[in-house]
Chains A and B, each alone.
Chain A
Amino acid sequence: MFDYKLSSKSPLDGFVLEAGGARLVETKGFALISIAAPHLGERALKSALKNTLGIDLPKPGFSSRSETTPDITLMSVGRDQWFFRFLETEKSSVDWVVGAVGNYAAITDQSDSWAQIELSGISARMLLECVLPVDTDPSVFPEGAVSRTVLEHLGVIVTRQPNDADGDYCFLLMSPRSSAKSFLHALIGHRRSITS
């Protein structure tokens, strides 16, 4: 019997940077589980989600939070497709979702597919305007809004989070894991970046 252990590595090694009125943090430990509605199955999925988790199936461009477990969010990311996001526990994240709505959706673990970065602070919007083709004005991108687009040739899912402790804007940016370092460079390497 051998005793080899695998250790876990996050896409950005726990990157944290705070400067120039913005805070950029790699958020670790969050599961991302894709659920996709089967053909003609959205209505059944919707009621299953409501009944088992107390969460609404969000409309395109939005996310929703569980009424019973506020730490669970569900974001719309594509045609008939949503991502659960919640803190991972010892128990398998996929199994947990399968247990909740397994009969109503195709379920795929995406937790290791995305680098997750939270950007907050008074300069957050100014930083984004040089890279992100999304109107982040609160009148059109309110809390819970989701946009899936491209940032510097890289796919990105951006979600407006609740404001941070100082009342400033907070955004969750998710981009594919393999190019996470380029993604980070795109965020901090431009003119209005928090490092310049």
Chain B
Amino acid sequence: MTQKNRIGGGLIDQNRSVQFDFDGQSFEGYEGDTLASALLANDVKLVGRSFKYHRPRGIFSAGSEEPSALVTLREGAYSEPNARATVTEIYDGLSARSQNKIGSLNFDLMAVNDLLSPLLTAGFYYKTFMWPAVFWEKVYEPIIRQAAGLGKLSGAEDPDRYDKGFLYCDLLVIGTGPSGLMAALSAARTGLRVILADEDFRMGGRLNAERYEVGEMPAADWAAATLAEFMSMDNVRVMPRTTIYGAYDHGIYGALERVSDHVAEGSEDVRQIAWRIYTKRAILAAGSTERSIAFGNNDRPGVMMAGSVRAYVNRWGVAPGKRVAIFTNNDDGWQTAHDLQGQGVEVSAVVDSREQTTLLPPKGVRVVLGGRIVDTKGRLGLKKIILSDGQDVAADCLAVSGGWSPNVHLTCHQRGIPVWDDKIVGFVPGATLPMGMAVAGAAIGVMTLKACLQSGLDVGNSVVEALGRTVSKSKTPKAQDEVSAASAFWYVNESKGRAWLDLQNDVTTNDVKLSHQEGFRSVEHLKRYTTMGMATDQGKTSNILGLAVMAEISGKSIAETGTTIFRPPYTPVSIAALAGRSRGKDFRPARLTPSHDWAAEQGAVFVNAGAWRRAQCFPKEGETHWRQSVNREVLATRASVGICDVSTLGKIDIQGKDATDFINRVYANAFAKLAIGKTRYGLMLREDGLVMDDGTTARLSEHHYLMTTTTANAVSVFRHLEFCHQCLWPDLDVQLISATEQFAQIAVAGPNSRKLLEKIIDPEHDISNDAFAFMACGDITVCSGIKSRLFRISFSGELAYEIAVPTRYGDSLMRVLMDAGGEFDVTPYGTEALGVMRIEKGHAAGNELNGQTTALNLGLGKMVSRKKDCIGNILSLREGMVRDDGLRLVGFKPVDPAMSLNAGSHFIGVGAEAKTSNDQGWMSSVTYSPSLETSIGLGFIKSGDQRMGEKVRAIDLVNNKSVEVEITSPHFFDPEGRRLRV
């Protein structure tokens, strides 16, 4: 099909043909076309069906405010629903299709909804689907969801890549129309760092859509020349295709740059980038948006905004119709008539709602002053308009101008309330603007060209001064102010057909009247009851109309009626863009232990422990179940020696003259008398008396300690200590620094652990039981002089050590220990075996330190020293926390040794009903103990310490399992602790 509506001229490159498809049919456009301009050039007017009534809809505007021309772009996983044809750049191979229809676009079966429209008014859902209540989720909602909604997602994973980033500037200029360009010029020429952003791919705003002259050249040429100057300046960053979508705290703006939406899918580049722009100042020069007038059947394809019709003619060289009528309530509508006629397009009538005007019509054009359009005709596209006097006028396009609304959106993002301006008949920004923001040009109600240029210069200069620079000598280029008188005329009361306000959500003047009638009169209620302005276009072309109708019905002024305010984003931003590259394994970073590579070589199975990847077990050939590997690792460790990378435990280096005092205050148990060269178990409480964390702390010298924390709480404990240091006790002489990353720490456990270590520790260090007893610590050297630390501590219950070397040697230490331990059949063990051994010993871990348990619950009540003040001491004495019949940590064994246990089971008395009122506690940790050859568990049960030998049931209702268990000591294995002191 040829481009029958292409009239030549414009800012497109007619030497560069572009082929694209719409609903399976091939079309040609030119480089510089949007999908909308190219479709209009090809005389395609019907492009979609409306949201609710499935009415035929066409292209309404020429920008991001578009409510109607929503299409699905691209195919398969690349498809994107609800894209606005008016801002979609065409490229070779672009595939677009209409949406929200059953059958063809011309004969949409869902158009039956339009016949049912008397039933489907505002509030329809609320009134209709009340009964029976259970039907809502199962019946009504699925049907409504199927019927409503516009485009459909592909359901496939998005194959595109997205990114994010951070930009900084002195001044962000939002919008590149005359005021934006002038503001940016005034700032850029003083050397300020300027970012200039515009949502359009061709910057220049309305300068590209009008036939004005600026600086004695066509306005678009002046814009291009000015942008060329910016491109040559190192201090200016020019960002086309970039929407500033939100104004956030402290001068931070969200920006979406569409990097490769205009090239074929599968591009090497990312699709979009979500920038966070940090600004000292911002100038909002976002221009204004033309609004419509409501009259009967004003939604037919071919009814368009007058300024947009002008843009199609002037910028894209396209006539939106062969015979165009104008309906306006202001001077600007007349400009469209002149521009159309100037390009040889027939203008069939200018209908002005005002009774008089001094404007002269284009030659030969019929003028109707005080005119009203009451109806339109043409099922799939406009054919004629009907005036209130009954006359009809032939037109296949109607250009409507209801005046221009300043784009105040970003001024509202921090609760700024726009105020009504009778002079321009629109809302302008209120006095409260986001910090650092100024507004220029049409966005603040300056509606003519010369004045916009001056406004941009003035506001730009004021920013320059505010930032301490000397104002440049820039002057505005020569330009004229056009006529711009506006009037308040919102809808044609005489219309009998439905008069549409919000074209995207199918809201009519009748819906607003119904909302008023039913008591939803506040603008906020109106919005929610009718859904006006709640679609993806956020009512850019319709909100004011709806307010005006409500105001008129209420007998109030628009100023009294007020407006809803705007929230981010200005235009839709995909979740994918906000996520950036944080997808899949890139969602969170991974921390690897020093022995990770070695463990991987051994075929270790890894488990996530927070951000850490830890070796869970080391399966050997022939082992078919992880339990076999774990049992072997446990038994080998208890029989001879095992090694395990425990570098993930938090390590905090604490120094200072008051370090002892500090540690004594943060731990609940006594630390004041810990000897140098000794390590002690420490229990840390929160301020509320509940247990925060536990670990060991070693005294390395008089004023130097090393505290260890659990892996999970490494960061939170460090943060807690910093808080205590900086806020609670700033006068204490304490210095803190994390040493978690500094040391590779390997646990060496089992009866042969000492013998193994003696092979690598330099001989001058005596680690015999006499010289280096249980809980000793000290500096040593290994492998001929490598400085290390040794701690004689045990989580496994065996004779055990933890040896710490600088992390660079961690991988090597593991290999050396395996080599040296060959004669002892040394066995590496993972977190699973570590967990088995700690349960066998009755040590609490994360399952028990869950933020809800007290020292008393854990059987550690006596550790909380009453002889000193420490964090949590006072509140741990609250009545409910010290009751005798409270929960106690004890052990559990199945009465039938062959039975396994489930963590999370609740304890119920034998014979009692399994219900909440009979709940006595829960099982926190379970394992199969290869040492005892039965399952064992740790758990909390009321008065547990006084109920040894009693039997209860462990009931797991989730897995429908009940096991009779006996209450035992939590110390299943070597309860006297003989093995670790040898």
| Interface residues of A, Cβ cutoff 8 Å to B | 1-10, 34, 36-39, 79-81, 92, 106, 108-114, 129-135, 137, 139-140, 152-154, 176-179, 181-183, 185-186, 189-192, 196
Please, which residues of chain A bring their CB within 8 A of the CB of B193? 137, 139
B454 at the interface (CB under 8 A from A): no
Please, which residues of chain B bring their CB within 8 A of the CB of A135? 168, 278
B563 to chain A, nearest CB (A): 35
Q: How far is the CA of A90 from the CA of B582 in the complex (A)?
A: 42
Q: How far is the CA of A192 from the CA of B732 in the complex (A)?
A: 47
Please, which residues of chain A bring their CB within 8 A of the CB of B278? 135
Q: How far is the CA of A10 from the CA of B894 in the complex (A)?
A: 50
Please, which residues of chain A bring their CB within 8 A of the CB of B259? 191
CB within 8 A of A177: which of B167, B269, B741, B805?
B741
B579 at the interface (CB under 8 A from A): no
Tell me if A177 and B807 are in contact (CB < 8 A).
Answer: yes
Q: How far is the CA of A92 from the CA of B788 in the complex (A)?
A: 13
Tell me if A4 and B737 are in contact (CB < 8 A).
Answer: no
Q: How far is the CA of A189 from the CA of B162 in the complex (A)?
A: 12
Q: How far is the CA of A5 from the CA of B590 in the complex (A)?
A: 29
Taking CB atoms and an 8 Å cut-off, the chain B residues in 785-837 that contact chain A are 786-787, 805-813, 816, 819-820
Binds A, one of B291-299, B653-661, B945-953: B653-661
A93 to chain B, nearest CB (A): 11
B612 at the interface (CB under 8 A from A): yes
B933 at the interface (CB under 8 A from A): no
Please, which residues of chain B bring their CB within 8 A of the CB of A153? 588-589
B620 at the interface (CB under 8 A from A): no
Instruction: Say whether chain A's binding surface is mostly helix, strand, loop, or mixed.
Output: loop
Tell me if B166 and A132 are in contact (CB < 8 A).
Answer: yes
CB within 8 A of A36: which of B167, B590, B735, B763?
B735
B592 at the interface (CB under 8 A from A): yes
CB within 8 A of A4: which of B269, B270, B588, B816?
B816
CB within 8 A of B733: which of A2, A38, A112, A192?
A38
Tell me if A38 and B657 are in contact (CB < 8 A).
Answer: yes
Tell me if B737 and A178 are in contact (CB < 8 A).
Answer: no
B591 at the interface (CB under 8 A from A): yes
Interface bits B572-600 vs A (CB < 8 Å: 1, else 0): 00000000011000101111111000000
A178 to chain B, nearest CB (A): 4
Tell me if B820 and A191 are in contact (CB < 8 A).
Answer: no
Please list 6 pairs of residues, one from A and one from B, whose beta carbons are closer than 8 Å in the complex, sorted by A's number: A4-B783, A9-B812, A38-B656, A39-B657, A131-B165, A140-B168
CB within 8 A of B586: which of A6, A38, A109, A185?
A185
CB within 8 A of A6: which of B612, B735, B759, B805?
B805
B608 to chain A, nearest CB (A): 13
CB within 8 A of B742: which of A109, A129, A132, A192?
A109
CB within 8 A of A110: which of B592, B612, B658, B742?
B742
Q: How far is the CA of A191 from the CA of B274 in the complex (A)?
A: 12
Tell me if A8 and B808 are in contact (CB < 8 A).
Answer: yes
| Interface residues of B, Cβ cutoff 8 Å to A | 161, 163-168, 193, 259, 268-270, 273, 276, 278, 581-582, 586, 588-594, 611-612, 647, 653, 655-658, 726, 731-735, 737-743, 759-760, 763, 782-784, 786-787, 805-813, 816, 819-820
CB within 8 A of A182: which of B269, B270, B589, B759?
B589
Tell me if A4 and B581 are in contact (CB < 8 A).
Answer: no
Instruction: Give the residue name and chain of the B residue nearest to A78 (CB).
Output: B737
Q: How far is the CA of A81 from the CA of B726 in the complex (A)?
A: 13
CB within 8 A of B163: which of A113, A181, A191?
A191
Tell me if A7 and B809 are in contact (CB < 8 A).
Answer: yes
Known A79-B726, A137-B168; judge A130-B812 contact (CB<8 A).
Answer: no
Q: How far is the CA of A7 from the CA of B586 in the complex (A)?
A: 31
CB within 8 A of A178: which of B655, B732, B741?
B741
CB within 8 A of A5: which of B647, B735, B784?
B784
Please, which residues of chain B bring their CB within 8 A of the CB of A39? 656-658, 731-734
Please, which residues of chain B bring their CB within 8 A of the CB of A137? 168, 193
Q: Which has the most chain B C-beta neighbours within 10 Å: A5, A111, A135, A178?
A: A178
Would you list the 3 A-B pairs with minimal beta carbon distance, nearest first? A182-B589, A135-B168, A106-B655
Please, which residues of chain A bring their CB within 8 A of the CB of B731? 39
Q: Which has the most chain B C-beta neighbours within 10 Å: A38, A106, A135, A139?
A: A106
Known A181-B590, A191-B269; judge A10-B165 contact (CB<8 A).
Answer: no
Please, which residues of chain A bring their CB within 8 A of the CB of B655? 36, 106, 108
Q: How far is the CA of A137 from the CA of B655 in the complex (A)?
A: 38
B704 to chain A, nearest CB (A): 8
Please, which residues of chain B bring their CB within 8 A of the CB of A112? 741-743, 806-808
Tell me if B808 and A2 are in contact (CB < 8 A).
Answer: no
Please, which residues of chain B bring their CB within 8 A of the CB of A113? 738-742, 807
Tell me if B593 and A4 are in contact (CB < 8 A).
Answer: no
B628 to chain A, nearest CB (A): 30
B36 to chain A, nearest CB (A): 29
Please, which residues of chain A bring their CB within 8 A of the CB of B166? 129-130, 132-134
Please, which residues of chain A bring their CB within 8 A of the CB of B787? 92
Tell me if A191 and B741 are in contact (CB < 8 A).
Answer: no
Q: How far is the CA of A40 from the CA of B582 in the complex (A)?
A: 44
Q: How far is the CA of A4 from the CA of B758 in the complex (A)?
A: 11
Tell me if A2 and B759 are in contact (CB < 8 A).
Answer: yes
Please, which residues of chain A bring their CB within 8 A of the CB of B611? 179
Instruction: Give the residue name and chain of the B residue nearest to A5 (CB).
Output: B783
B831 to chain A, nearest CB (A): 16
Please, which residues of chain A bring their CB within 8 A of the CB of B740? 113
Tell me if B737 and A191 are in contact (CB < 8 A).
Answer: no
Known A112-B807, A113-B807, A129-B167; judge A181-B592 contact (CB<8 A).
Answer: yes
Please, which residues of chain A bring their CB within 8 A of the CB of B592? 178-179, 181
Please, which residues of chain B bring their CB within 8 A of the CB of A181? 590, 592
Known A-B contacts: A6-B783, A112-B807, A140-B168. Give 4 more (CB < 8 A): A36-B655, A81-B737, A137-B193, A152-B582
Tell me if B268 and A196 are in contact (CB < 8 A).
Answer: yes
Q: How far is the CA of A94 from the CA of B163 in the complex (A)?
A: 42
Q: How far is the CA of A185 from the CA of B819 in the complex (A)?
A: 33
Tell me if B581 and A189 are in contact (CB < 8 A).
Answer: yes
Tell me if B581 and A6 are in contact (CB < 8 A).
Answer: no
CB within 8 A of B741: which of A114, A185, A186?
A114
Please, which residues of chain A bring their CB within 8 A of the CB of B786? 6
B484 to chain A, nearest CB (A): 41
A177 to chain B, nearest CB (A): 5
